[in-house]
Amino acid sequence: MTLPLTGGCMCGGVRYEVSAPPEYAGYCHCTRCQRRTGGAASVSARLRPGSFAIVEGNELIGVYRPPDGFEKAFCTHCGSALFSRNPQNTDEIGVRMGTFDDDPGVRPSYHQYVGYAAPWEPIPDDGLPRHPESRPR
């Protein structure tokens, strides 16, 4: 892995940099992530506080703010899901792993919200811990 890590949206309008290795990554199987991604789960890398910066296209970022949970940021031009962040602590960010340009050097280490997993796609037997709700911190 080479720092900074770079990434962005599908159309290239939004670009970001990450200045420190991600802390960890995991799969989320909640229905909100299913609807946001159109898939059975999302996989995100949790970043170290202060390591994330938008370097291009900040004006293209839209944010969905659910009544509870993390804000969901996306490109308003192409619709790419980019990252989520804690509205009470905006340095707490999870970047969608598919938006990195290169290998971020971290691998998913858990599945959370498996109690809501899509019935049409079984969770693989990958040996990772499974949590019916949010994983314990």
**Digit-coded pLDDT (tens) for 27-83:** 999 999 999 889 999 999 999 999 999 999 999 999 999 998 899 999 999 999 999
Q: Residue 106: pLDDT band by 50, 70, 90 thresholds?
A: very high
Q: Which DSSP string do the residues of 9-62 spell out, in sequence order?
A: -SSSS-EEEE-S--SEEEEE--HHHHHHHSSS-EEEEEPPTT-EEEEE-GGGEE
Closest CA to 130 of 114, 107, 106, 108: 114
Q: How many Cβ atoms from other residues are within 10 Å of residue 84's Cβ?
A: 27
Q: And the tokens for 95?
A: 């970047």
Percent of the chain with pLDDT over 90: 92
What is the model's pLDDT at position 136? Answer: 85
Q: How many Cβ atoms from other residues are within 10 Å of residue 3's Cβ?
A: 12
Average pLDDT of 85-103?
96
What is the model's pLDDT at position 85? Answer: 95
